[in-house]
Amino acid sequence: MDFVGKSFSTILWLFAIAAVVLIGGYLLIHLIPVIVVAGVVIFAAIKGKRYLKEHFKTNKTKINKNSSDNYNTSKDFTYDDLEGEIVDVDYKDI
């Protein structure tokens, strides 16, 4: 009878291991789509946040446009329009 008892415990362990493997496989197969969808949502949220942060940030073009208004950028500017004394500088040839 001792032989039957050892065999029965071995069969129970095999059933327990098979049940754990099957339940784990079932959960893994059904959780993979959930994990993928969650990953895509997180990825899209991070990319969207970065895009919105860059989009609504003060553009450098606006800053440059405002600062360029302080300078004379007209095409009809000539050096004859300069007022004041002209300084002539002599350079030595080396």
User: What is the value of pTM for the model shown?
Assistant: 0.42
Token representation of residue 3: 């032989």
What is the per-residue pLDDT for 1? 47
> Taking Cα atoms as reference points, which of 53, 34, 33 lies closest to residue 45?
53
Spatial separation of the C-alpha atoms in residues 90 and 94, rounded to whole Å: 13
Domain ranges of the chain: 25-58
- The half-sphere exposure of 5 on its side-chain side, counting CA atoms within 13 A, is 2
Q: Give first-to-last CA distance, the chain, whole Å.
A: 116
Q: What is the pLDDT of residues 33-47, one digit of tens each?
A: 999 999 999 999 999
What confidence tens digit (pLDDT) does each residue in 51-80 have?
A: 888 877 755 555 555 555 555 555 565 666
CB-based burial label for 33 (10 Å; 0-12, 13-18, 19+)? exposed
CA angle 80, 86, 90 (to 5 degrees): 125
